[in-house]
Chain A
Amino acid sequence: AQSVTQLGSHVSVSEGALVLLRCNYSSSVPPYLFWYVQYPNQGLQLLLKYTTGATLVKGINGFEAEFKKSETSFHLTKPSAHMSDAAEYFCAVSAYNDYKLSFGAGTTVTVRA
């Protein structure tokens, strides 16, 4: 079975500051890992994903994440926060041989001017 833990339900950053959202996963088989973003009153949009290969993954809107197998982590970062980054972010995991996604509890990001 796969599961995800997101550390911190709320993160507040200043505009222009680093955004760091933490995600740790548990999986008995090689995982596929995802970050989704949800803007208010909207569905989830894929930011980036890790499947195989390069462990540093770049996504949309300047976000990137690094897969660290030894730490079972897939933390999401963005060097410089923008007001438009205010949203809820979800980390998700699936097994390479399964079609189900298991989501973390989500982290709400607020950006201060």
Chain B
Amino acid sequence: NAGVTQTPKFQVLKTGQSMTLQCAQDMNHNSMYWYRQDPGMGLRLIYYSASEGTTDKGEVPDGYNVSRLKKQNFLLGLESAAPSQTSVYFCASSYGTGVRSPLHFGNGTRLTVT
């Protein structure tokens, strides 16, 4: 039981390049999320998906896109990378929305945009 798996773990991009961050969960969770974490700041929600086939914007969606074609996968795309997108990206999932359905995080993707 792997939990939440993110790939890649590290990535360096040049400004203007595009890429997709992959997230997979094997816990049959309904909800999935993408966060970014910057020094001194709390995790900020980029996009989320309450169920397969649905996605919604979070607090900081600009410059990103997402897809949830399968229940177990949630992809985060960077259309044209910018240095401001240098960050650590965490994918998370949860079964439901109750207090007893905590978030399970992947181990993160460290992205540097030069």
Task: Indicate, yes or no, whether A interacts with B.
Answer: no
Task: Give B residues with C-beta under 8 Å from A.
Answer: none
